[in-house]
């Protein structure tokens, strides 16, 4: 019952949030100078006044701002995200084509960062003054400070140019034929390694620091001493008793990070020409393609809200105290 | 040499009722024996095309795949000579008021339907009414179709640019039965699932990722195309483009401009670099002046600025020797180029003297006046931004204080320039084959249109220039026409509404195992039906 209430409350918040996302973004995009008709004309290599007027009329750009906003909102309420000014294709279709690529990149980067970061943190917490601990600290500092696009370019130079073991462009090799879906999956995984790594490294640093601090905290607690006194093996103490408590801050931050990882994905997608939403969003800003941009922002908002909801559920799963009290 | 060739071209196009010459296609002998098969992966750096219908959309992004999907009546070689393509013969009427196209027999669209004169008529009228380059077919009154294999284009006035307007990037022949479906042609669903009659048929388009084309088995030229597939990989990141070519993930990069990347790629043994294949485009980087603003309305001030710019430094140092200096509105590779203009030699003394003469004396700190300079924010920084920034210290030497105004993106820049809200701007404009198509628009008084980018945004007005251009647009005699353009170039260079800086150093980077690269005047925007792999590759 309590769970249902909590979810319901969050959904209400989510709807308000989404409404705000739509209105604010619509207004912001319209504040930017330049109009899509000029972009389309620019792409054509020139235009005349008649063509410009035709384009503006075709997309309703000649109507007043509030009327345009109303038309957009009423369409979205009916589940219609509109047509892209630029590609002249339904926004829902454009976003759907790209969404999977971004979700794949973001989740593999984030999950790898969480798993490896936490493990590194735990290792270093067990010997806080050991060589491994110092190594992890240095790695964290470097990884966290380096801009994600720089890491990406460096990885390309290292693992695609100097030692060419990974491809640099896109998500799959379009020239590849045959091999079935397994071959395709391997191809995608092969293409995924470098972008997911460059996206993950920043967060890896963060999680290793977080897990290390939180682990050190927990390992000093009385119940750990009790567990050790009971004669439990060190591995059981660390992984069963300590980690379960130490991981809570990691889960919290992971939920918060989801939105930030999406933002970071724009840069990684650009560097690796990953056909995801980030690049589509960036391109759409440059083209003043507001329906596409709004569609992407809407989708991202929904993903972040779902992510936060999942974080809450994970909390309940890990920490029995929340299940009963909160 | 150029003279001889263009005279020959002139004879070809104006000799009355003369059938198309049976000049062999330059690569034909080699192509017949060339091995077939293989996939070509093109690095497409121009971005995701809006769609593939080049009848209503210009630009490189659409033009490259469209030239493979759609065939055109004629095609051109690297010497501006027309060759048969969909039209096996053509005749220009002696009075220049009509052009008769005799279509090749047995040609079909990718859906198997035959190509008829009705398709040609439909396409030409569609282009006339919808293409951004209005001047291409503006004089077309109607297209008659006496029989399915003959189309007669009837004109309201002689139109010397008509033949070049029949070329692949400008005149795709659309299947009427597919495109004439009741939808507006600009937003037609068929534009994204195009059916043409070119050497390759459309298979798949993933915006932001790739375009896949496949060999059309029933292409009307026997033995062509050689390749099985062409994939246009849409890549935006400069370092990924370079590494991708080095690693062989992509095999061909047309329209490469980054001179630093070109220098690096040229060192790779498996890759070749060529500047061939861009004559038709005639791309110029220039500094445009807003003649509505003081003191730029004074010709002496514009001349002074032009004299103060060291174009040798720009082409040799900023562009690492890849670029050629521009001397006027028409590119040197055009048959209508004239070198008989008063050149603007780099001369700071003369610049100072001109500014003094204009009454713009320097103040105590040596400053005469201030100006802003914008620059086109697309492509790499090398041609536009770097040159705009170079102008700041350079023009300071003659007492002009220059502020560089950057624009975050194309729409912002286009908004400023098209609404005449600028002092000076760096810009890049194409000649597009014939001056009628790409040159007139910048200088005609009648094309001063607020809100339209790449119109006469300089607000340049010279009745003599208007008259010369109007006359050149209807003069069939090639020598007379050349004389008119020579006169135009002399006047407009003297008026200096624009300081023409350099020819854009477009280059193609290619895998050396490729044969018959597209090096015609339209380069990668011409059909690549004879391109082949010399040896099989992985």
pLDDT tens per residue, range A5-23: 877 887 888 888 888 888 8
Verify whether the Cβ–Cβ distance B410 to A48 is below 8 Å: no
Q: What is the 3-state secondary structure (H, E, C) of B77-143?
A: CCCCCEEECCEEEEEECCCCCEEEEEECCCCECCCCCECCHHHHHHHHHHHHHHCCCCCCCCCEEEE
Nearest alpha carbon to residue B41 among B533, B534, B535: B533
Cβ-nearest to B57 among A44, A94, A98: A44
pLDDT, residue A245, reads: 84
Q: In chain A, which among 116-155 make CB contacts under 8 A with chain B?
A: 153
pLDDT at B10 over 50: no
Asked whether the beta carbons of B81 and B164 are under 8 A apart, the reply is: no
Q: In chain A, which among 265-294 make CB contacts under 8 A with chain B?
A: 270-273, 275, 279-280, 283, 285-288
- B449: chain A residues, CB-CB within 8 Å: 48-49
- B454: chain A residues, CB-CB within 8 Å: 45-47
pLDDT, residue B305, reads: 97
- B133: chain A residues, CB-CB within 8 Å: 45-46
* Higher-scoring residue by pLDDT: A93, A325: A93
Among the residue ranges A169-173, B446-450, B489-493, the one predicted with the least confidence is A169-173
pLDDT, residue B144, reads: 97
Q: Which backbone phi and psi does B405 adopt, to 5 degrees?
A: -105, 110
Reported residue count of chain B is: 538
Strands in B424-430's sheet, in edge-to-edge order, are B324-325, B498-503, B283-289, B424-430, B369-375, B400-405
pLDDT, residue A45, reads: 58
Cβ-nearest to A48 among B134, B207, B430: B134
Report the DSSP beta bridge partners of residue B428.
B285
The 3-state DSSP class for residue A283 equals helix
- B411: chain A residues, CB-CB within 8 Å: 32-36, 38-39, 42, 286-288
Q: In chain A, which among 160-179 make CB contacts under 8 A with chain B?
A: 160-161, 164, 167-171, 173-175
Per-residue pLDDT tens for A118-164? 998 888 888 878 888 888 888 888 888 888 888 898 998 899 888 88
Both tokens of A248, joined, read 């809570």
* pLDDT band, very low/low/confident/very high, at B537 (cuts 50, 70, 90): low
* pLDDT band, very low/low/confident/very high, at A3 (cuts 50, 70, 90): confident
Cβ-nearest to A38 among B132, B240, B453: B453
Residue B38 CB partners (closer than 8 Å, separation 6+): B226, B227, B228, B229, B532, B533, B536, B537
Highest mean pLDDT of the ranges A27-31, A97-101, B517-521: B517-521
pLDDT at B179 over 90: yes
- A38: chain B residues, CB-CB within 8 Å: 410-411, 414-415, 418, 453
Among the residue ranges A128-142, B64-78, B142-156, B376-390, the one predicted with the least confidence is A128-142
- A35: chain B residues, CB-CB within 8 Å: 411, 415
Per-residue pLDDT tens for A57-72? 877 788 888 888 888 8
Q: What is the DSSP string of B308-372?
A: H--HHHIIIIITTT--EE--SSS-TTSTT----S------HHHHHHHHHHTT----TTS--EEEE
Q: In chain A, which among 233-272 make CB contacts under 8 A with chain B?
A: 270-272
- Minimal C-alpha gap between A58 and chain B (Å): 9
pLDDT, residue B451, reads: 83
* pLDDT band, very low/low/confident/very high, at A324 (cuts 50, 70, 90): low
Among the residue ranges A18-32, A99-113, B13-27, the one predicted with the least confidence is B13-27
Verify whether the Cβ–Cβ distance B455 to A160 is below 8 Å: no
Give the alpha-carbon dihedral of B79, B82, B84, B86, to 10 degrees: 120
Per-residue pLDDT tens for A254-265? 887 877 787 778
- In the block, tokens 């170039």 appear at B489
A97–chain B Cβ distance below 8 A for any pair:
yes
Q: How far apart are CA B517 and CA B274, in angstroms?
A: 10
Cβ-nearest to B412 among A33, A160, A270: A33
Q: How far is CA B281 from the centre of its chain?
A: 3
Q: Which backbone phi and psi does B314 adopt, to 5 degrees?
A: -65, -50
Q: What number is the average pLDDT over the span B433-459?
A: 93
* Higher-scoring residue by pLDDT: B115, A181: B115
- A46: chain B residues, CB-CB within 8 Å: 58, 132-133, 441, 452-455
- Minimal C-alpha gap between A257 and chain B (Å): 26
Verify whether the Cβ–Cβ distance A45 to B411 is below 8 Å: no
CA B519, B522, B524 angle in degrees (round to 5)?
Answer: 70
Average pLDDT across chain A, whole number: 83
A69–chain B Cβ distance below 8 A for any pair:
no
pLDDT at B473 over 50: yes
Q: How far apart are CA B148 and CA B327, in angstroms?
A: 47
Asked whether the beta carbons of A215 and A242 are under 8 A apart, the reply is: yes
- B455: chain A residues, CB-CB within 8 Å: 46, 48
Element (H, E) at B508: strand B507-511
- B414: chain A residues, CB-CB within 8 Å: 34, 38-39, 41-42
Percent of chain A with pLDDT over 90: 6
* Higher-scoring residue by pLDDT: B295, B16: B295
Choose the mutation target among B433, B452, B456 for the interface with A, i.e. most A CBs under 10 Å.
B452
Cβ-nearest to B452 among A33, A47, A175: A47
Q: How far apart are CA A221 and CA B417, in angstroms?
A: 68
pLDDT at B7 over 50: no
Q: What number is the average pLDDT over the span B215-226?
A: 95
| Helix and strand counts by DSSP (H, E) for chain A | 14, 0
pLDDT, residue A48, reads: 67
Q: How far apart are CA B398 and CA B357, in angstroms?
A: 13
Choose the mutation target among A60, A171, A273 for the interface with B, i.e. most B CBs under 10 Å.
A273
Asked whether the beta carbons of B337 and B324 are under 8 A apart, the reply is: no
- Minimal C-alpha gap between B387 and chain A (Å): 21
R_g of chain B computed on alpha carbons: 24
pLDDT at B348 over 80: yes
- In the block, tokens 């299940």 appear at A323
Q: What number is the average pLDDT over the span B465-490?
A: 96
How far are the Cα atoms of A23, A115, A164 from residue A290, in angstroms, in the given order? 12, 37, 39
Cβ-nearest to A47 among B41, B132, B208: B132
Verify whether the Cβ–Cβ distance B50 to A40 is below 8 Å: yes
The 3-state DSSP class for residue B515 equals strand
Q: What number is the average pLDDT over the span B103-125?
A: 96
R_g of chain A computed on alpha carbons: 24
- Minimal C-alpha gap between B230 and chain A (Å): 9
Nearest alpha carbon to residue A252 among A281, A214, A200, A196: A214
Within 10 A of B496 (CB to CB), how many other CB atoms are there?
Answer: 22
- B239: chain A residues, CB-CB within 8 Å: 153, 156-157, 271
Asked whether the beta carbons of B259 and B503 are under 8 A apart, the reply is: no
Q: What number is the average pLDDT over the span B392-417?
A: 91
pLDDT, residue B6, reads: 40
* Higher-scoring residue by pLDDT: B222, A2: B222
In B, minimum Cα distance to A277 occurs at B208
Half-sphere exposure of B475 (CA within 13 A, CB side): 17
- Minimal C-alpha gap between B479 and chain A (Å): 29
- Minimal C-alpha gap between A97 and chain B (Å): 8
Q: How far apart are CA A38 and CA A54, in angstroms?
A: 12
pLDDT, residue A178, reads: 67
Nearest alpha carbon to residue B155 among B170, B142, B145, B136: B142
Average pLDDT across chain B, whole number: 90
Domains of chain B: 9-278+506-533 (3.40.190.10), 283-503 (3.10.105.10)
Percent of chain A with pLDDT over 70: 94
pLDDT, residue B59, reads: 85
pLDDT, residue A47, reads: 62
Q: How far apart are CA B434 and CA B469, in angstroms?
A: 12
Residue B224 CB partners (closer than 8 Å, separation 6+): B31, B199, B529, B530
* pLDDT band, very low/low/confident/very high, at B506 (cuts 50, 70, 90): very high
pLDDT, residue A72, reads: 84
- B416: chain A residues, CB-CB within 8 Å: 33
* pLDDT band, very low/low/confident/very high, at A76 (cuts 50, 70, 90): confident
pLDDT at A25 over 80: yes
pLDDT, residue B218, reads: 95
Cβ-nearest to B210 among A41, A86, A174: A174
Half-sphere exposure of B524 (CA within 13 A, CB side): 28
* pLDDT band, very low/low/confident/very high, at B324 (cuts 50, 70, 90): very high
* Higher-scoring residue by pLDDT: B388, A307: B388
Q: How far apart are CA A163 and CA A161, in angstroms?
A: 6
- Minimal C-alpha gap between B415 and chain A (Å): 5
Cβ-nearest to A167 among B39, B249, B411: B249
pLDDT at B134 over 70: yes
pLDDT, residue B26, reads: 46
pLDDT at B1 over 60: no
What ipTM score was computed for the predicted complex, to two decimals? 0.78
Per-residue pLDDT tens for B328-340? 999 999 999 999 9
Cβ-nearest to B212 among A40, A87, A174: A174
Both tokens of B375, joined, read 């620059």
How far are the Cα atoms of A95, A170, A276, B347 from residue A101, in angstroms, in the given order? 10, 10, 5, 56
Dihedral angle sign, alpha carbons of residues B289, B291, B296, B298: positive
Domains of chain A: 98-285 (1.10.3720.10)
CA B150, B79, B49 angle in degrees (round to 5)?
Answer: 70
Choose the mutation target among A56, A102, A168 for the interface with B, i.e. most B CBs under 10 Å.
A168
Percent of chain B with pLDDT over 90: 78
- B236: chain A residues, CB-CB within 8 Å: 270, 273, 279
Nearest alpha carbon to residue B239 among A278, A246, A149: A149
- Minimal C-alpha gap between A169 and chain B (Å): 6
Beta strand segments in B132-279, E: 140-147, 150-155, 200-206, 210-215, 229-234, 252-256, 271-274
Verify whether the Cβ–Cβ distance A97 to B134 is below 8 Å: no
pLDDT, residue B5, reads: 37
Verify whether the Cβ–Cβ distance B184 to A58 is below 8 Å: yes
A and B: number of Cβ contacts within 8 A:
165
pLDDT at A239 over 80: yes
Per-residue pLDDT tens for A272-300? 888 888 888 888 888 888 888 888 888 88
């Amino acid at each position: 019952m309590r769970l249902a209430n909590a979810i319901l409350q969050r959904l209400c918040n989510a709807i308000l949030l989404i409404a705000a996302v739509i209105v604010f973004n619509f207004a912001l995009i319209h504040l930017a100078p330049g109009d899509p008709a000029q972009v389309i004309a620019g792409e054509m290599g020139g235009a005349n006044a008649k063509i410009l007027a035709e384009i503006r009329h075709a997309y309703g750009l000649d109507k007043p701002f509030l009327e345009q906003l109303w038309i957009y909102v009423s369409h979205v309420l009916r589940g219609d995200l509109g047509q892209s000014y630029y590609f002249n294709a339904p926004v829902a279709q454009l976003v759907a084509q790209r969404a999977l690529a971004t979700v794949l990149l973001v989740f593999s980067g984030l999950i790898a960062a969480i798993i490896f970061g936490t493990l590194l943190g735990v290792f270093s917490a067990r010997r806080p003054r050991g060589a491994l601990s110092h190594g992890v600290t240095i790695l964290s500092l470097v990884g966290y400070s380096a801009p994600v696009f720089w890491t990406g370019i460096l990885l390309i130079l290292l693992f695609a140019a100097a030692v060419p073991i990974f491809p640099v462009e896109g998500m799959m090799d379009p020239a590849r034929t045959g091999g079935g879906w397994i071959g395709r999956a391997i191809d995608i995984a092969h293409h995924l390694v470098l972008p997911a790594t460059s996206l993950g490294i920043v967060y890896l640093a963060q999680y290793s620091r977080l897990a290390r601090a939180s682990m050190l905290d927990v390992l000093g607690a009385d119940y750990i001493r009790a567990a050790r006194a009971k004669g439990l093996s060190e591995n059981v103490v660390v992984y069963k008793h300590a980690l379960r408590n130490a991981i809570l801050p990691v889960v919290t931050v992971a939920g918060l990070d989801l939105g930030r990882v999406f933002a970071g994905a724009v840069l990684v997608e650009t560097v690796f020409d990953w056909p995801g939403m980030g690049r589509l969003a960036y391109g759409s800003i440059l083209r003043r393609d507001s329906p596409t941009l709004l569609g992407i922002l809407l989708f991202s908002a929904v993903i972040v809200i779902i992510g936060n909801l999942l974080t809450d559920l994970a909390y309940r799963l890990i920490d029995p105290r929340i299940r009963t009290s909160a | 040499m150029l003279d001889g060739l263009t005279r020959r071209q002139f004879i070809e196009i104006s000799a009355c009722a003369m059938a198309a010459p049976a000049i062999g296609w330059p690569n034909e002998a080699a192509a017949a024996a060339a091995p077939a098969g293989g996939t070509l992966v093109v690095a497409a750096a121009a971005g995701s095309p809006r769609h593939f219908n080049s009848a209503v959309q210009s630009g490189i992004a659409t033009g490259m795949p469209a030239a493979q999907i759609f065939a055109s009546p004629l095609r051109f070689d690297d010497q501006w000579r027309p060759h048969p393509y969909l039209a096996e013969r053509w005749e220009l009427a002696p009075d220049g008021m009509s052009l008769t196209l005799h279509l090749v027999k047995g040609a079909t669209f990718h859906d198997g339907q035959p190509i008829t004169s009705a398709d040609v008529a439909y396409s030409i009228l569609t282009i006339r009414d919808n293409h951004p380059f209005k001047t291409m077919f503006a004089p077309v009154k109607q297209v008659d179709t006496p029989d399915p294999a003959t189309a007669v284009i009837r004109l309201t006035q002689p139109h010397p640019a008509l033949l070049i307007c029949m070329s692949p990037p400008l005149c795709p022949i659309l299947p009427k039965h597919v495109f004439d479906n009741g939808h507006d042609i600009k937003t037609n669903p068929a534009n994204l699932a195009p059916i043409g009659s070119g050497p390759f048929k459309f298979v798949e388009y993933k915006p932001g990722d790739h375009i896949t084309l496949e060999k059309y088995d029933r292409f009307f030229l026997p033995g062509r195309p050689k390749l099985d597939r062409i994939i246009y990989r849409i890549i935006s990141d400069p370092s990924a483009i370079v590494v991708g070519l080095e690693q062989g993930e992509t095999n061909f990069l047309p329209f490469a401009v980054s001179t630093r990347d070109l220098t690096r790629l040229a060192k790779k043994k498996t890759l070749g670099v060529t500047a061939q294949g861009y004559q038709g485009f005639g791309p110029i980087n220039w500094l445009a002046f807003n003649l509505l603003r003081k003191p730029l309305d004074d010709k002496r001030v514009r001349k002074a600025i032009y004299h103060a710019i060291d174009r040798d430094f720009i082409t040799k140092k900023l562009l690492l020797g890849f670029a050629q200096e521009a001397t006027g509105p028409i590119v040197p590779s055009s048959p209508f180029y004239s070198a008989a203009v008063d050149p603007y030699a780099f001369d700071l003394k003369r610049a100072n003297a001109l500014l003094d003469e204009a009454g713009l004396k320097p103040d105590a700190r040596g400053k005469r006046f201030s100006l802003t300079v914008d620059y086109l924010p697309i492509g790499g920084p090398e041609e536009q931004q770097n040159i705009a920034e170079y102008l700041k210290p350079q023009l300071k030497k003659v007492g002009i204080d220059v502020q560089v105004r950057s624009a975050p993106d194309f729409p912002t820049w286009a908004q400023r320039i098209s609404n005449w809200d600028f002092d000076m701007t760096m810009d890049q404009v194409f000649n597009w084959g014939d001056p009628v198509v790409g040159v007139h628009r910048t200088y005609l008084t009648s094309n001063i249109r607020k809100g339209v980018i790449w119109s006469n945004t300089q607000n340049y007005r010279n009745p003599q220039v208007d008259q010369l251009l109007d006359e050149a647009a209807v003069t069939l005699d090639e020598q007379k026409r050349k004389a008119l353009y020579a006169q135009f170039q002399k006047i407009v260079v003297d008026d200096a509404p624009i300081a023409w800086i350099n020819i854009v150093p477009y280059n193609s980077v290619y895998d050396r195992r490729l044969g018959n690269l597209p090096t015609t005047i339209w380069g990668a925007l011409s059909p690549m039906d004879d391109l082949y792999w010399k040896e099989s590759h992985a």
